[in-house]
Chains A and B, each alone.
Chain A
Amino acid sequence: MTNSINEIEHSQVILVSGSNTVKTHPQVARRIFDAVDSGASLIVIDPRRSPLARHADVHLSIRSGSDIPLLNGMMRVILDENLADDAFVEMRTENYHALRDMLYRLDMDEIVALTGVSLDKISRAAKLYARAQNSVVCYCLGITQHICGTDNVQAIANLAMLTGNVEKENTGVDPLRGQNNVQGACDMGALPGVFPGYQSVADPEVRHRFERAWQVSLPKTAGLTVTEMTHAASDNPIKGMFVMGENPMLSDPALGLVRESFANLEFLAVADIFLSETAAVADVVFPAATFAEKEGTFTNTERRVQLVRQAIAPVGESRSDLDIITALSEKLGYPMPYASAAEVMEEIALLTPIYAGIFYDRLAPWGLQWPCFDREHGGTPFLHKYNFARGKGRFVPTSHKPPSEPTDAEYPFVLITGRSYHQYHTGTMSRKTPVFNRECPEGLLEIHPLDAKTYNIRAREMVRLSSRRGSIKVKVTLTKTVNPGSLFTTFHFAEAAVNELTVAARDPQAKCPELKVCAAKIEKLET
Chain B
Amino acid sequence: MRNILTTCVYCGCGCGLYLHEENGRVVGASPSKNHPVSRSNLCVKGWHAHEFIHDSSRLTQPLIRKNGVLTSSGWDEALTYTAKAFRKIIDKTEGTGIGVLASAKCTNEENYLIQKLARAVFKTNNVDHCARL
Contact = CB atoms under 8 A, between A and B. Distances in A.
Interface of A: 4-6, 24-28, 30, 144-145, 176-193, 195-196, 201, 210, 214, 216, 218-219, 221-227, 229, 237-246, 248, 251-253, 266-267, 269, 272-275, 279-280, 282-288, 290-294, 296-302, 304-313, 315-322, 325-329, 331-332, 334, 336, 341, 344-345, 347-348, 365-366, 421-422, 424, 429-430, 432-436, 439, 510-513, 515
Contacts of B43: 26-27, 421
B124 A317 contact: no
Contact of A297 (B48, B107, B113, B114): B107
Interface of B: 2, 4-16, 19, 21, 24-26, 34-38, 41, 43-45, 48, 50-55, 57-65, 70, 75, 78-83, 85-87, 89, 92-93, 95-133
Contact of B83 (A180, A186, A273, A331): A331
Nearest to A512: B132
Contact of B60 (A210, A214, A300, A318): A318
A238 B90 CA distance: 11
Most A Cβ at <10 Å: residue of B13, B80, B82: B13
B39 to A, nearest CB: 9
Nearest to A227: B132
Contacts of A248: 101, 130
A27 B130 CA distance: 22
Given A244-B106, A298-B107, A237 B54 contact: no
Contacts of B109: 296-297, 322, 341, 344-345, 348
B13 A219 contact: no
B7 A306 contact: yes
12 contacts: A27-B43, A182-B129, A188-B111, A189-B111, A216-B120, A282-B63, A292-B4, A311-B4, A321-B107, A344-B109, A421-B44, A436-B44
A275 B107 CA distance: 20
Given A299-B108, A310-B4, 20 more contacts: A26-B13, A182-B129, A185-B111, A190-B115, A190-B127, A219-B123, A219-B125, A242-B98, A266-B85, A273-B58, A274-B59, A275-B59, A283-B65, A285-B63, A298-B14, A307-B5, A309-B4, A312-B21, A321-B110, A432-B51
A4 B83 CA distance: 43
Q: Which of B41, B97, B103, B109 has the most CB of A within 10 A?
A: B109
A252 B59 CA distance: 23
Main secondary structure of the interface of B (DSSP, over half): mixed
Contacts of B50: 292
B91 to A, nearest CB: 11
B133 A229 contact: no
B104 A315 contact: no
B78 A332 contact: no
Contacts of A269: 82, 85-86
Contacts of A244: 100-103, 106, 110, 114
Contacts of A253: 133
Contact of A436 (B11, B48, B125): B48
A8 to B, nearest CB: 11
Closest 10 CB pairs of A and B: A316-B60, A300-B14, A296-B107, A223-B125, A190-B102, A245-B103, A26-B43, A331-B83, A179-B104, A287-B59
A24 B12 CA distance: 9
A30 B41 contact: yes
B62 A287 contact: yes
A320 B105 CA distance: 12
Contact of B108 (A28, A288, A296, A365): A296
Given A192-B128, A284-B65, A320 B110 contact: yes
A294 to B, nearest CB: 7
A57 B101 CA distance: 42
Given A190-B115, A313-B24, A510 B80 contact: no
B26 A27 contact: no
A136 B93 CA distance: 48
A313 B48 CA distance: 19
Given A189-B115, A284-B81, A178 B11 contact: yes
Given A240-B85, A283-B85, A305 B108 contact: yes
Given A292-B50, A315-B58, A334-B121, A182 B126 contact: no
A238 B97 contact: yes
A226 B75 contact: no
A179 B12 contact: yes
Contacts of A30: 41
A196 B115 contact: yes
Nearest to B8: A180
A191 B102 CA distance: 9
Given A223-B126, A239-B98, A284-B81, A27 B24 contact: no
B120 A366 contact: no
B120 A424 contact: no
Nearest to A347: B112
A5 B98 contact: no
A468 B129 CA distance: 27
Contacts of A25: 11-13
A300 B108 contact: no
Contacts of A322: 107, 109-110, 113
- The CB with the most chain B CB atoms within 10 A, among A210, A219, A227, is that of A219
A186 B58 contact: no
Contacts of A226: 101, 128-130, 132-133
A284 B78 contact: yes
A240 B113 contact: no
A189 B110 CA distance: 11
Given A196-B112, A273-B58, A267 B104 contact: no
